Amino acid sequence: MKINFSTPSGFPEFLPGEKRLEQYLMDTIRRVYESYGFTPIETPAVERLEVLQAKGNQGDNIIYGLQPLLPPTRQSERDEAGRGDTGSEARALKFDQTVPLAAYIARHANDLQFPFARYQMDSVFRGERAKDGRYRQFRQCDIDVVGRKELSLLYDAQMPAIIAEIFSQIQIGDFLIRINNRKVLTGFFSSLGVTPDRIKACINIIDTLEKVGVDKVLVGLAAQGLSPERSQQVIDFIKIQGDVDLVLAALNEFAAKLPDADRFKLGIEELTTVINGVRNLGVPDNCYCIDLSIARGLDYYTGTVYETTLIGHEALGSICSGGRYEELVGTFIGESMPGVGISIGLTRLIYRLLKANILQPLAATPTQVMVLNLQEDLMPIYLQVSQQLRQAGINVVTAFDKRPLKKQFALADKQGITFCVVIGTEEAANNRCQLKNMATGEQVEVSIDALANEVKQQLG
Amino acid sequence: MKINFSTPSGFPEFLPGEKRLEQYLMDTIRRVYESYGFTPIETPAVERLEVLQAKGNQGDNIIYGLQPLLPPTRQSERDEAGRGDTGSEARALKFDQTVPLAAYIARHANDLQFPFARYQMDSVFRGERAKDGRYRQFRQCDIDVVGRKELSLLYDAQMPAIIAEIFSQIQIGDFLIRINNRKVLTGFFSSLGVTPDRIKACINIIDTLEKVGVDKVLVGLAAQGLSPERSQQVIDFIKIQGDVDLVLAALNEFAAKLPDADRFKLGIEELTTVINGVRNLGVPDNCYCIDLSIARGLDYYTGTVYETTLIGHEALGSICSGGRYEELVGTFIGESMPGVGISIGLTRLIYRLLKANILQPLAATPTQVMVLNLQEDLMPIYLQVSQQLRQAGINVVTAFDKRPLKKQFALADKQGITFCVVIGTEEAANNRCQLKNMATGEQVEVSIDALANEVKQQLG
């Protein structure tokens, strides 16, 4: 029988050079997260279904339940795992890292220090409808800080600093972190007299401004019962743009004119605190702005919200988003645990940046030096030289297969290996070797003892 | 309704200090793997069931099939994912990394360079019966080198060098890598006149020697039709011990005396080549030996096999095992692709080493410095100092919550944060700060510009 060995639809995998790129990005992201004191956690891929569904079914996506398949030798058996596919024992694959974070905190609350700042870079699973750049398994690189009862707004201010540091380090061009506060939005609509049950609809409508344009937004707002005058105020409001200080001043002006503006003012105050923090953290002015049209679709955000766009590549959508929430993480233990977090959808980001030629795969191997095989009888020397380089922190392969020298060079070149070391009878007798730099084509003769240093020097 | 938020049975998770230990071990393992030129890959957690079962059902373990759960809004729908629970679209979670490696090579054969040396550190899933230290999701750190048609035995020789390097670096005490060759075993039995269909049974019997003792092994061999004289030869054979050269000499003596010893001699030759390679790679003599009782349960090994035991903690079992195989990886494309690999069952290893007190969790946070909060009005300075330290590669948290100084120190101490930075009005006015080393209790005053260097120097 012919086996279909392709990956299941929606579960792609990287070639080595792409995987190495992912690892480089993960290392960078992790280093920045840790520089702000975030500690790693990992939750199982599998959780109880009741835990995963505690906050709903993640939109209209499919959750992957587990169906234990007994081996032929155990078909008659119904062990614990076998009972696990329905009822209270039902288990499924996690579809995000927020619900598992809530469960993790509930499970270990007594062993954790608060504010609890953690990062998590696991794969999550969603039965997404197949679309370009949507996957059913993908890695998210999340951070969240969670407090008990309260959490300083300066944690909100750190998030843009972290985003800016990461995207500066990975050098994918200019980016803009757009910051808003949902209380500014909800407070504004409330001051306009929009009833609470309609505020969400209004926010969803203005969230579409960029896509559909002003006219359609006006139609939408009218359908929600806003007078033309009020609707115009909404448009004027979300069009406030420019320098953050100007935007804050404009918001304060608006607030002064509007009735019942307590919530609106609270939002402005929070936003001001966050923006001042971002500034004091030294984030370059051109990296962030206040964008009043940012609402974030997810219902659970209650304060600060973020989106990040790559300048010139706005069609990619937000490459890092997040926000502040009040009622999410404490769910399982019935405690108030405000949190703020951001997420980088790494898998999707890599595929899109590769496709857009903004990132390129790395070399297909981490090998820096190939020690060539000229004569079998010199193999002990090749092995010893290889080990000597490894001890110096250099990644080495020894060519074990006897092939024409030209082929060995070609193999090194094809894999992006920078150096080849050539040792024949004469070199071996004199404890020397030829070092060829495949990038420059230059070849130097050095003593074997000096080889590691020479390689390091040429690597720079 | 009260939700059971505990992890599902068999799916444990680490506390932050344990997770940091895992990450430290993964970083170390990865660095050693890369120093030998292994390149990372990651295959999806989910494969087609027919792929996973191509080589059988992984013993009598349960495979976790996927059962897509449609959200309420899509109950009437049967989309692509919905069809995926039976038949040719059935998908399941991978239970090892060898079958996925075979599939990966089949999928990308034209994009890979051979010999293809890859490492993979993913989680795999098995419906194991619950036992101490057995998990249903666990991480394996595997390497394999796969050749097209042939593969030098020196790749087999590198494996003990890699194992020795890893376990030396992670400092868990003395270890012994036990090396054998299955051709030595099967060739020996064949020379004794044991028919091929009974060789496997005999190998399984001698594999139990350490557990059940000589007498029971003799009974077992008799049941396989071996005469008392032949059985005694088997015992004499597997009891050959000592210096590798003595063992090889004893094997050659045996081979000279036995009829039809071609396969036996081939095994000895392979073993000799591997041992010479291990020696030439500089692996310390006391780290490895030839152990003729090592057979590895898995059917697919055809040549070199390895097990690694921790001296003084033999009850932990093998902490790193593997071997050479001929017919595994080429399965899907019907090509001969010999390979050799090893696997570290990391999750299990960590739990056992923690339990045996051989390893301890790391600090619960990567934070090295906490900048304390004395006065809210100095916050801009605290933020700036924090950023300055981060730019120097130091992990920092800023204390945003205003608490008594004593509590802030206590919080740092409890989390294992080594340094606290104290800046009051006077220090701020003079651009200076107090640096307290929580480990030594010493406190020094330094200028803010010199702070990063002082911290680095004290960290050593």
Structural domain boundaries of chain A? 16-45+94-355, 369-459
Residue numbers in the known binding site of A are 96-98, 126, 140, 144, 296, 300-301
pLDDT in the model for residue B81: 44
- Max Cα distance, chain A (Å): 93
Residue numbers in the known binding site of A for L-histidine are 96-98, 126, 140, 144, 296, 300-301
pLDDT of residue B86 exceeding 50, the answer is: no
Model pLDDT for residues B199-255, shown as the tens digit of each residue: 888 988 887 887 898 999 999 999 999 999 999 999 999 889 899 999 999 999 999
Nearest CA distance, B29 vs chain A (angstrom):
13
pLDDT in the model for residue A85: 43
Selecting from 3.30.930.10, 3.10.20.30, 3.40.30.10, 3.40.50.300, what CATH number does the domain B16-44+94-355 have? 3.30.930.10
Nearest chain A residue (CA) to B82: A62
Determine whether the annotation assigns residue B304 to a binding site. no
Q: Do residue B5 and residue A46 have CB atoms under 8 angstroms apart? A: no
* Angle in degrees, 0-180, between the axes of helices B379-391 and A262-280, rounded to the nearest 10: 40
**Which residue of B11, B130, B150 is in closest CB contact with A46?**
B11
Nearest chain A residue (CA) to B395: A35
Whole-number average pLDDT of chain B: 92
pLDDT of residue B178 exceeding 90, the answer is: yes
Determine whether the annotation assigns residue B86 to a binding site. no
pLDDT in the model for residue B133: 61
Nearest chain B residue (CA) to A370: B37
Q: Do residue B107 and residue A7 have CB atoms under 8 angstroms apart? A: yes
**Which residues of B are less than 8 Å from A383 in CB distance?**
154, 277, 280-282
**Which residues of A are less than 8 Å from B64 in CB distance?**
46, 66-69
Q: Do residue B19 and residue A4 have CB atoms under 8 angstroms apart? A: no
CATH architecture of A16-45+94-355: 2-Layer Sandwich (3.30)
pLDDT in the model for residue B48: 95
Determine whether the annotation assigns residue B96 to a binding site. yes
**Which residue of A57, A65, A104 is in closest CB contact with B72?**
A57
* pLDDT > 70: percent of chain B: 94
Q: Do residue B16 and residue A40 have CB atoms under 8 angstroms apart? A: yes
Q: Do residue B8 and residue A48 have CB atoms under 8 angstroms apart? A: yes
pLDDT of residue B39 exceeding 80, the answer is: yes
Determine whether the annotation assigns residue B119 to a binding site. no
The 10 Å Cβ neighbour count of residue A154 is 22
B276 or B67, greater pLDDT: B276
Q: Do residue B39 and residue A365 have CB atoms under 8 angstroms apart? A: yes
What is the mean predicted confidence (pLDDT) over B69-75?
A: 75
**Which residue of B5, B20, B47 is in closest CB contact with A107?**
B5
Q: Do residue A103 and residue B5 have CB atoms under 8 angstroms apart? A: yes
Nearest chain A residue (CA) to B391: A35
Q: Do residue B6 and residue A65 have CB atoms under 8 angstroms apart? A: no
pLDDT of residue B83 exceeding 90, the answer is: no
ipTM metric: 0.94
Q: Do residue A23 and residue B43 have CB atoms under 8 angstroms apart? A: no
Residue A112: what residue type?
A: L
CA B141 to chain centre: 4
**Which residues of B are less than 8 Å from A387 in CB distance?**
161, 281-282
**Which residues of B are less than 8 Å from A414 in CB distance?**
113
Nearest chain B residue (CA) to A381: B280
Question: What is the CATH class of A369-459?
Answer: alpha beta
pLDDT in tens, chain A (460 residues): 689 999 998 998 999 999 999 999 999 999 999 999 999 999 999 999 999 988 765 666 789 999 988 877 776 665 444 444 444 479 999 999 999 999 999 999 999 999 999 999 999 999 877 665 679 999 999 999 999 999 999 999 999 999 999 999 999 999 999 999 999 999 999 999 998 888 888 988 887 887 898 999 999 999 999 999 999 999 999 889 899 999 999 999 999 999 899 999 999 999 999 999 999 999 999 999 999 988 776 678 999 999 999 999 888 889 999 999 988 788 898 889 999 999 999 999 999 999 999 999 999 999 999 999 999 999 999 999 999 999 999 999 999 998 999 999 999 999 999 999 999 999 999 999 999 999 999 999 999 999 999 999 999 8
Which of A39, A113, A123 to mutate against chain B (most B CBs within 10 Å)? Answer: A39
**Which residue of A62, A93, A384 is in closest CB contact with B81?**
A62
